Amino acid sequence: MSQICSFEDLDDHEKNDCYYQKGGIGALGILKTGHDITDFANGTQLQAAIDAGTLKIIKNIKAELPEPSPVEGENPLACGAETIVDGFDYTLETTDFNVNAVNDEFYRKLNLSQFAGLIFYMCEEEMLRVVETGVNFNSRLVIPKSNKEKQNYLVTAKWSQSVADSFPVLHEAPEGIFV
């Protein structure tokens, strides 16, 4: 349910002092079930997951997380709006210009199943956003008409989150993993 029980449960809003977060997703992490990461700011844990094959990193890309679609359901209360927000459907759009035979196979396999989660690295901010819910991918190869344009993969990642955990979780990025 999207309602808090009392006003006291509502945290204070915090004002940023003279600085506002910038966009720019420059790398992604694909999480496999059983990744064993408990602290996404811990480079040792992320490297262990990479070594174990439960975290795959995609670097040197361009991605964006546009506004999610709200998922609304019937309001269980008689008074008020007819519907309330139950969650959000997210879509992350990625362009990867690293076109080659190895990446053809990587993206072919990415299309075949659902993965346990997604990490996106904001290069300007040195921050991560982490999604630990089922993520589906749709990867496509694009070859433009013109020899003045670059071939690329367009990759769409989709997932849903409940209103209780409606935002991908913010963490500091560990050094050396996503760059």
Give kind and range of the element (H or E) at residue 95: strand 83-96
Tokens of 31: 């999480």
Does residue 179 sit within a domain?
A: no
Q: Is residue 13 part of a domain?
A: no
Q: What average pLDDT does this structure show over 110-139?
A: 94
CATH number at residue 36: 2.30.110
pLDDT score for 2: 45
64 in any annotated domain: yes
pLDDT digits (tens, 9 = 90+) for 15-30: 778 777 788 999 999 9
How many domains does the chain fold into?
Answer: 1
Strand, helix or coil for residue 141: strand
The H or E element spanning position 139 is strand 136-142
Residue 153 placed within a domain: yes
Domain assignment present for 163: yes
Could you give the 3-state DSSP secondary structure of residue 3?
A: coil
For residues 70-96, one letter each, b for 16 or more C-beta atoms within 10 angstroms of the residue's C-beta and e for the rest, the string is ebeeeeeeeeeeeebbbbbebebebeb
pLDDT at 8: 73
Give a yes or no: residue 78 inside a domain: no
DSSP 8: G
Return the H-helix or E-strand segment holding 29: strand 25-31
Residues 6+ apart with CB under 8 A from 65: 25, 90, 91, 92, 93, 120, 129, 168
For 42-97, the pLDDT digits (tens) are: 999 999 999 999 999 999 999 999 999 999 999 998 888 999 999 999 999 999 99
Q: What's the domain range around 47?
A: 22-71+84-172
Residue 14 located in a structural domain: no
Is 7 part of any domain?
Answer: no
Global model pTM greater than 0.75:
yes
